[in-house]
Structure 1
Amino acid sequence: MAMTLYELVGSDAARPFSPHCWKARLALKHKGLDFQTVTAGFTEIPGLEGGFSKIVPILKDGETLVADSFAIAEYLEATYPDRPSLFGGEGGRALSRFVESWSQRTIHPQIARLVVLDIHAGLGERDQSYFRESREKAFGTTLEAFVADREARVEPLLKSIEPLRAILARQAFLGGESPLFADYIVFGAFQWARVTSPLPILPAGDEVAAWFERCLALHDGEGGKVPAAA
């Protein structure tokens, strides 16, 4: 029986947008495993699998349930060791933890300031109410005010990813000549922006943009199958 991956969507069930769900999806593809997807909106997540988790992605493999994208990657690595490695060893696992920490503290907050209103626009009515209330409470301001100067925030984001740009000028992927889970971690952040917002972020000719295009083409173009927001 194929595994099931629960993913976050808005009003269009064909457009999963969570960066964490994209990490898990590409991890499954990397391992060459068969899986099906089940989509849910924000307010539907607590009802999935009997309330197993408040977050997605959730992976169901037989009777086993795993939540959190990194935990899913570790589960896949341990359970299917004969398939291509997501970490390339214990050192790669530890370095992937660093990449995740850096991405979620450096890239994610900046992308949120660019796309959060677009995310809201793409949600169903019930999820819009939840999203606005929860995010405005967290941000301490309205969604509109939070993104009011977003065009001016693109350049600081690009400067902050200079360490990423420098390494990708030397090699095709963070994993070297081929991708590892660390690549999927950072890819998820930029795919989040690509799927939810038409705001251009990565300029043509940028090493990170070229890497992102390579990632979109991985695994028979899995990432590129969802069109960019228009």
Structure 2
Amino acid sequence: MSNIQTDHPKILILGATGPTGRLIVSQALARGYDVTALIRSPEKAADLKGAKLVVGDARDEKVLRQALEGRNAVISALGTPASPFREVTLLSTATRALVDAMKAEHVSRLVCITGIGAGDSAGHGGFLFDRLIFPLLLKKVYADKNRQEAIVRDSGLDWTLVRPSLLNNKAGDAPVRALTDLSGFHGGSIARAAVAAFVLHQLRQDRWLHQAPLITQ
């Protein structure tokens, strides 16, 4: 069993100043969780009131070990901008350092957000995404997401990979579908708020342990 057996999970959130990460922080605090956020820029985190802030680079294992002190789970919402020309390594480098740091600090539960287009979800994003957006803008980003997923799968941790469909900023109150059989699925979208709620829910149950569900609404 990997679910966090406590009324107040103590979590570290990576990517906390991104649009989805901010919602994970706010929802976690609203649930009474003890939240640490690893951030690069204190200025961007001025509104993350209630979270303990650790400033540093997510690729630095020493910083990660400091941020993991007293934690019992990690949520990674790390993202990277579209990169049509330059190679992308941030996600895999940071995730490799995170896995090493988690093992050193004896923290086993990891919920990691990647995205539709990673692994065997490639080709299920719908015509516009699969034929234009992915090959022109995101190919290098997703090559790194695939490396990131491989590191998580091989980590030996209690992991769940979460692949949201195309993200939007709606209220997020529509039901969430979590799929591992993608036959016949093409496209779909999901609210960032719903993604935040889904990943936080994973800390309480093992339904998707060692799996990579695609989530959509």
Task: Give me the TM-score of the superposition, normalised by structure 2.
Answer: 0.29
Report the structure, 1 or 2, having the larger helix content.
1
Report the structure, 1 or 2, having the larger strand content.
2
Task: Give me the TM-score of the superposition, normalised by structure 1.
Answer: 0.28
Whose Rg is larger? 1
